[in-house]
Amino acid sequence: MADTGFIPKEKWGAFIEGLSTKAQVYVPCLEGDTVLFRPFGKEKTLCFERPANSPPKSVIFPQSDTLFSFTFIKDPDNPQKTEVELKEHLDFPKTIVIGSRPCDAKGFTVYDRPYTETDTPDPYYKGRREKTTIVTMTCNSPSAGCFCTAVGGSPADKEGSDALITEVEKGYFIEALTEKGKEILQGPGVEDGKAYQGDATKKQEAVHSMVKNPFGPKGLGKVSPELFDNDEFWDNAVSKCVSCGACTYLCPTCYCFNITDEQTSDKGERIRTWDGCMYVHFTLEASGHNPRPTKFQRFKNRVGHKFSFYPEKYNGVIACCGCGRCIRYCPMSVDISEIVSNLQGA
Amino acid sequence: MANTINPYLPEIVTIKNVIEETPNIKSFQVVFNDPERMKTFTYEPGQVGQLSVFGVGESTFVINSPPTRMDYLQFSVMKAGEVTAALHDLYPGDQMGVRAPLGNAFPYEQMKGKKILFIGGGIGLAPLRTLILFMLDNRADYKDITIIYGSRTPPDLCYKEDLNEWEARKDVELILTVDAEYPGWKKKVGFVPTVLNEVAPSPEDTIAITCGPPIMIKFVLQNLAQLKFKDENIITTLEARMKCGIGICGRCNLGSKYICKDGPVFSLAQLKELPGAI
């Protein structure tokens, strides 16, 4: 079986629609001015021209997810006695994400290490990840704030994807990267891709060279321990931050969460929701003690996690994919690439 | 690990006994509803568990009964927030959820053949209690055991039955203190770090283990350094707000280490390597 394929432009819509009969398909949809990953529907306006405002992380890591439900059962013979019954929610549908960007796919690989490659894998993340095919699209051009090449990525990077689609003049060239990716080549209207490989490679190389590198010609250097532990540096760096946490929600690699219970009458659910280390309540303890009470300590933790703590734990891998969303959408124009740049030793 | 397939799913336990330790601390003695599980459950002194009140939430507490006494698992809860308040409303016969054991344990193997110095404050005696009882159940393995323990007032001292027993034993030295004079109190008066300096234990062949409020730990560590204890011979156990208990959710990290998974037990030597730990 060939590992490449080609879909002519006019058959692109039918291809996606065809896949949606076999799996739940998520595609970037235009809603007002915003592009968001939504379940495919004929009425949706698809938008593959630019990266979605929000990455597709919610497909595998839903913003709100029921871990299990609980039911209280009263003993009819002894009304004071109540039993609790728990029911897990571990059934996940077959899912395909079409149109993620290489940075978004790298985001999933940052999740994979703490969520799946441990002695206590997270069954919700792992279950969805295994059932999901990530079909990534090579970027047409970098957006403002993009810096993927500076953190080991590329606008045509294959890491974390099951298939990579590159738009060429007459359609879409598909390269299957995994067994799940090969299944995509069985979709309706897929033709032989060999003739388009050259065009795709050219385009991938061209867009690669267009991404800016905020860390200068030498690239990302070592974080200076003196600066990293200098409170004044952080206080100055984040003085304009308003702790809104938008950066954490839009980040393909931010994976902090909260767990809460919701109950009505005799039943309820334990729910996991996205959370963010930029919020003051995140680490606030019931006693009133807060190990990260100031904004700069929280910001230092966020940058530290991506550029220092995570790499320390996982063989130097940087937990930032350079998608630039936190820079593009920060209401106060806080620029993580600038801060990290300033953190490097001389 | 409690549940190898789903680490988020608690096991159901039933409360057998509730002890009112102090006006705001209760101890819960629980057993698994599945009697087989009670037999297969293993843990080491210092490991923690997440207690669930379904409909309210989860919080982390140390298992403060030792693995040498497996009639029940004991957790002590100070009433402070929503979950602890809900736990305080539970009575014998009520059910709750447990995810345990989580985290690491005291390095009790490396402590064999050494003199042991425990320094505790308030509810901070809970993790120390596990190790103290474990050592008393394996008394021959350890040399002198000294316990310095204090609280604000005499009614705030936890585990009063244990304290009476340890006081009566000849192979344990127990030094009790309270922060201020109190009617009828004839033992030491003063903060735990000050009493530590008065007692001035020798660092020779000794491991110090401390737990208490952050401010107490801070000064105890300073005073142990003055007494010439080496960083690697000072052990403490930390707590932080936790949700997942398996090193993912991002709350309890100190740099690249997670208190819930890489801790809660750390030596001072280890903590000095971590940003913001002390």
Same domain, yes or no: B132 and B29? no
How many CB atoms within 10 Å of residue B4? 10
Q: Residue A303: pLDDT above 50?
A: yes
Give the range of the structural domain holding residue B156, as residue numbers without chain letter. Answer: 115-237
CB B178 within 8 A of CB B151: yes
Give the one of B9, B55, B57 whose C-beta lies nearest to A86's C-beta.
B9
In CATH, what number is assigned to the domain containing residue B47?
2.40.30.10
Same domain, yes or no: B28 and B127? no
The arithmetic mean of pLDDT across residues A308-320, rounded, is: 93
C-alpha–C-alpha distance, residues B62 and B106, integer Å? 12
In CATH, what number is assigned to the domain containing residue B179?
3.40.50.80
Q: Residue B1: pLDDT above 90?
A: no
Write the pLDDT tens digit of every residue in B6-25.
Answer: 999 999 999 999 999 999 99
The arithmetic mean of pLDDT across residues A154-160, rounded, is: 95
pTM over 0.95: no
Q: Which residues of B228-258 are buried (b: 16+ CB within 10 A; e: fewer)?
A: ebeeebbbbbbbbbbbbbbbbbbbbbbbbbb
Q: Which residue of chain B has the CA closest to A274?
A: B249
**Cβ–Cβ below 8 Å for B249 and A256:** yes
Q: Is position B5 within any domain?
A: no
Write the pLDDT tens digit of every residue in B176-193.
Answer: 999 999 999 999 999 999
**What percentage of chain A has pLDDT greater than the value 90?**
83
Q: How confident is the model at residue A343 (pLDDT cuts 50, 70, 90)?
A: confident
Structure-token pair, residue B111: 């402590």
Residues of A within 8 A of B12 (CB-CB) are 84, 86
**Cβ–Cβ below 8 Å for B8 and A68:** yes
| Cβ-proximal residues to A236 (8 Å cutoff; 6+ apart), any chain | none
Mean pLDDT (chain A, rounded): 93
Q: Which residue of chain B has the CA closest to A88?
A: B9
Lowest mean pLDDT among A7-16, A213-222, B67-76: A213-222
C-alpha–C-alpha distance, residues B32 and B14, integer Å? 6
Number of Cβ pairs < 8 A linking chain A and chain B: 119
Report the number of distinct structural domains present in chain A.
Answer: 1
The arithmetic mean of pLDDT across residues A21-31, rounded, is: 96
pLDDT of residue A174: 97
**Cβ–Cβ below 8 Å for B97 and A84:** yes
Q: Is position B56 within any domain?
A: yes
Give the one of A114, A261, A284 whose C-beta lies nearest to B56's C-beta.
A261
Q: Residue A345: pLDDT above 80?
A: no
pLDDT of residue A223: 78
Q: Is position B267 within any domain?
A: no
pLDDT of residue B4: 57
CB B10 within 8 A of CB B99: yes
pLDDT of residue B31: 97
The arithmetic mean of pLDDT across residues A75-84, rounded, is: 86
CB B66 within 8 A of CB B135: no
Q: Is position B108 within any domain?
A: no
Min distance B78 CA to chain A CA atoms (Å): 10
C-alpha–C-alpha distance, residues A339 and B4, integer Å? 40
β-strand partners of A271: A66, A260
Write the pLDDT tens digit of every residue in A30-69.
Answer: 999 999 999 999 999 999 999 999 999 999 999 999 999 9
The arithmetic mean of pLDDT across residues A137-156, rounded, is: 92
Q: Residue A287: pLDDT above 80?
A: yes
Q: How confident is the model at residue B277 (pLDDT cuts 50, 70, 90)?
A: low
CB A135 within 8 A of CB A162: yes
Q: How confident is the model at residue A2 (pLDDT cuts 50, 70, 90)?
A: low
The arithmetic mean of pLDDT across residues B98-117, rounded, is: 96
Give the range of the structural domain holding residue A252, as residue numbers without chain letter. Answer: 4-343
Give the one of B6, B248, B251 whose C-beta lies nearest to A282's C-beta.
B251
Give the one of A123, A257, A285 whose C-beta lies nearest to B249's C-beta.
A257
> Nearest-CA neighbor of A135 among A166, A96, A170?
A96
Q: How confident is the model at residue A252 (pLDDT cuts 50, 70, 90)?
A: very high
Same domain, yes or no: B34 and B98? yes
pLDDT of residue B234: 97
Q: Residue B276: pLDDT above 70?
A: no
Q: Residue B3: pLDDT above 80?
A: no
Residues of B within 8 A of A310 (CB-CB) are 256
Q: Residue B2: pLDDT above 80?
A: no
Q: How confident is the model at residue A226 (pLDDT cuts 50, 70, 90)?
A: confident
Residues in B lying within 8 Å of A, measured between beta carbons? 1, 4-10, 12, 52, 54-59, 80-84, 93-95, 97, 214, 239-241, 243-244, 246-253, 255-256, 275-276
Same domain, yes or no: B148 and B122? yes
Write the pLDDT tens digit of every residue in B79-93.
Answer: 999 999 999 999 999
> Nearest-CA neighbor of B147 among B103, B212, B204?
B212
pLDDT of residue B25: 97
pLDDT of residue B188: 96
Residues of A within 8 A of B1 (CB-CB) are 119-120
Structure-token pair, residue B246: 């398996």
Lowest mean pLDDT among A148-152, B93-97, B273-277: B273-277
Q: Residue A1: pLDDT above 80?
A: no
Residue where one domain finishes, among candidates B102, B131, B153: B102
Write the pLDDT tens digit of every residue in B219-250.
Answer: 999 999 999 999 999 999 998 889 999 999 99
Structure ipTM: 0.90
Report the number of distinct structural domains present in chain B.
Answer: 2
Q: Which residue of chain A has the CA closest to B278?
A: A291
Give the one of A119, A268, A309 whose C-beta lies nearest to B253's C-beta.
A309
CA torsion angle B89 B93 B98 B101 (round to 10): 110
Same domain, yes or no: B59 and B30? yes
Mean pLDDT (chain B, rounded): 94
C-alpha–C-alpha distance, residues B242 and B256, integer Å? 15
Q: Is position B133 within any domain?
A: yes
Q: Residue B29: pLDDT above 70?
A: yes
**Cβ–Cβ below 8 Å for A88 and B54:** no
Q: Residue A11: pLDDT above 60?
A: yes
